[in-house]
Each structure stands twice: as C-alpha cells, then as structure tokens.
Structure 1
C-alpha cells in the first residue's frame, strides 16, 4: 500500500515572517500518522520553514532548483544548497515554470537527475492544456512528458519519485478534473512507468493529483486506486489544508 503524500505549493506567497505565522497556524491542523505532509515554500523562506517545522510531521520542499552543481547562474538555487538547509523535496517542471520561464522536458530531466544525485525527492509535474484535452491528445502528451522526465533515471530512484498530474486548465481556475478524468490520467502515468521500467516500479511510485484541490474534492479524488495524494496550491495557504490532509 502506497503512503499518501499531500504537498502544498505556496508559489510566490508569504514572506519569511509570514511563513512562520502560517506554519504555526497549520501545525495542529495537519497532524497525521497516515499521510506525508510537505510544505513547498519560496526559496527565501526555506531556512525559516525548516526551523519552524522541527518536531512535527511536516517536511519542507523547494519550488524549483537548477540542474547544474554550481556556477554563473545568477539568481538560481543549487541542489546542495537545498539539502544543506534541510530540504527533502523539490517541485520540478511545474506548468508555471514551463510557461513563464521556458522550462522544457529536457531541462526537467536534467533537474530530476540532479535531485536524485543529491538525495532530494523530486515532485515531477506533468499536465495538459485545455486545447490538448479537447483535441484528445492528453494521454499521448503526458506520456511524452513522463518518458523524457525519467530518461536515464534508474528504477531504484524512480520508485522514490513523486509524480504530480496537474491539468493546466484546472490550476487556480476553480475547475477540477472529474474524479474519472483524474484517475484515468494517473492510471495512464502508472502504466507508462511500468512500460519504461517494470510493474514493481510502477506500483511503488506515488502519483498526486493537483489542480484546485479542495477539502470537498479531496476524499473522492484520494480514494481512487492510482491517486496517492495531492499537490495543493491556493488551499495550502489556508486552514482548509488541514481538512485536505485529514480527508478521511
């Protein structure tokens, strides 16, 4: 049985001092022995967040990182910088990074490899646009994203990864894919991993759904056989995140 993982993607929200306030507010609401809880916060707040969650069940993740070890990459964050401050997870290839900062499937793959090299758990994002869904190419497009993202990743490492399926048309729009749509794509992702690796790897890897997840939609979504939790945006900044974590 795969352990559920529910991660909050704070995006470009909360100063370091506001981060401490929010974490202290959420701490008693997200206590769970059954679910892995991750707060992915802005880079400037990572050290503060790691300190604020000590002694709790919460782990801290970054929202992005660079694929090079170090060098002349002004404004970027290296993997060893993340591990040095106690970060465990890193979101890679979020649709906003792809849309606004020109990330590609190839750079996503480089980042995934670098994350594993440093013992970080990547939350690898994939998802289609509304046009792609309407044209019936969702599964083909997602399979391409997954196959390139995991190029040259060993089966041993792949089993540790988290994949987040986020239909782009549902991010921050209030629209949520139907339970059937979300399960269909997450099942296809697992089947793709089985093709690339084997059934054991496919059964081990955790697949989240993201895209306007709420306290009301979480129970049905997370009950699906191939959905192992959620990558939560706006709701992760509110007390409602506690209801999502304790969805049962």
Structure 2
C-alpha cells in the first residue's frame, strides 16, 4: 500500500483558536521559526486569529511555517461586516485556511452548504483549504468495502475539480474528542481516515485519493501523536491545546518527521 513516505508529505497544524496576545505570538514564532524542518520533509502551519495574520506573515517570511486563517467568507468583497475576504487573505500572503471546524458548525451555525461555498471561494483565490470533517464514523465500522460516500466530505467538495482537489487537505476531528483530553484510538482514527480516502476515490479516483492528505485532530498530544501518525492513511495532525506551547509544537513536528521516515516504501 502506498504510504505518505513516498507520496504525501506529513503536515502538522497548530490551531490557536482565540488564544494568545500579540506579545505571545511573537515569542512563540521566535522560538519555532528556525527550528522546523523544510517543507519538503514536514509541512507546518499555525492557525491564528485574523488580527495576528499580517504580523505572522511578516515574521515567517524566512521560515517554512505556513500561516493559516481560521475562517473565511465565501464572497471576495461586499457588505459582510465582521467577515474576512478570501481575496484579502490571499493578498496578505496567507497560505491555508481552516474551513468547517466543529466549533464553527456548533457555535456559528455553519452548514455543509456554507462550508462548500467557503471551499470554492478559497480555491478560486489561491488559498488551500483544510476542510474539517466531524462526522461520526462509528456507523461505518461493519465493513470497509463498497462504503457510501461520507456525507460531509461529498458536500464540502461539491464542484471541486480534479485540479483543485490537489490543493485540499481533509482533517478528521471526532466531535467527542475535541478539547476532551481523550483522543480517538489510533485504530479508530485510521478506520475513519480510510473511509474518507475511499470516499475521495469514489468522488475522484483511487490515484488522486492517494495523493490527498488526511489529518487527525482531537486531543492530540506528544503521548499519542506517534501512534496516530503511524497509521497508513493519516498524514499529520491538527492540534489545539498541546500546540499552544512552542516546545510541544516542535516535538509534534519531530514526531511527524520520525514517523514519516520510518514508513516502509511500496
């Protein structure tokens, strides 16, 4: 089976949510900027509040770290007070954007339809979406053959072309694990990721599905990251609480690099 050792670069993304003040942002970046490996080895990203993104783009100019927006609107411009334009994010130099996070769905009533609109807006502006999937996969644990498409994946990617899908990352975060301190087991995470990859193969093709990265998120820390990232269909992690600490973030990046290098070739 093809593994990310030879076709998918692992990806570690810190999601700060609305934590940190300006001074803390600079302190964190100063500690990690030159410590992360080149993006050809492990890709790294930090998602932060909009108010910090411009500073972060400047501070990471000579670093492999990608700056990630936590949200985006589906219109490039217009009368949408309080929202953030995808065109403005791209112009700022932001690379990736989180779309459809569980907390956005729960607290701000985002739907599969708005997630899809945001994915399309990000792609047309050259941003790379990290699409969060929080669907309960437990109903699919009986058989891994001939599964129907996972609804959230199919809805989020409606209208996304073969060329565009190459710039999309999927992040699976079971709702019960987010912030709970209890992550899914490596086997549970792998089963969900495998189903997502099967869905991508149905929507596009098996060869394209093999090239799309799938991350796991939900109470990831330095104690469980190696097992989770060691799974065949999991290509990295989306980390909240643990990644607020720069040393832990660097440890997670190191684990991703070690796990990738230990994967067998075809």
TM-score range, shorter chain: over 0.9
- Residues 68 and 96, structure 2, Cα contact 8 Å, conserved in 1: yes
Q: How large is the RMSD of aligned CA atoms in angstroms?
A: 1.8
Q: Deviations over 1:50-107 (max 9, x none)?
A: 1111211111010000001111111000001101111000000000000000000000
- Residues 130 and 170, structure 2, Cα contact 8 Å, conserved in 1: yes
Partner of 1:242: 250
- Residues 171 and 238, structure 2, Cα contact 8 Å, conserved in 1: yes
Partner of 2:159: 152
Q: Deviations over 1:127-164 (max 9, x none)?
A: 136xx84xx36898981000000001001111221000
2:172 equivalent to 1:165: yes
Matched residues in 2 for 1:83 and 1:42: separation?
A: 15
Aligned partner of residue 246 in structure 1, secondary structure: helix
Which stretches in structure 1 are left out of the alignment for 5+ residues?
none
- Residues 128 and 142, structure 1, Cα contact 8 Å, conserved in 2: no
Return the match for 2:21 from 15, 26, 29: 15
The 1:2/1:173 distance shift into structure 2, 3 A limit, reads: same
2:125 equivalent to 1:83: no
- Residues 127 and 142, structure 1, Cα contact 8 Å, conserved in 2: no
Partner of 1:192: 199
Which stretches in structure 2 are left out of the alignment for 5+ residues?
1-6, 259-266
Matched residues in 1 for 2:166 and 2:61: separation?
A: 27
- Residues 9 and 41, structure 1, Cα contact 8 Å, conserved in 2: yes
Partner of 1:176: 183
User: Under a length normalisation based on structure 1, what TM-score does the superposition of the two structures give?
Assistant: 0.94
Choose 32-41 or 208-217, whichever is displaced more.
Answer: 32-41
Partner of 1:3: 9
Q: Which 4+ runs in 1 deviate beyond 4 A?
A: 137-142
User: Under a length normalisation based on structure 2, what TM-score does the superposition of the two structures give?
Assistant: 0.87
Matched residues in 1 for 2:62 and 2:165: separation?
A: 29
Partner of 2:61: 54
Aligned residues: 244
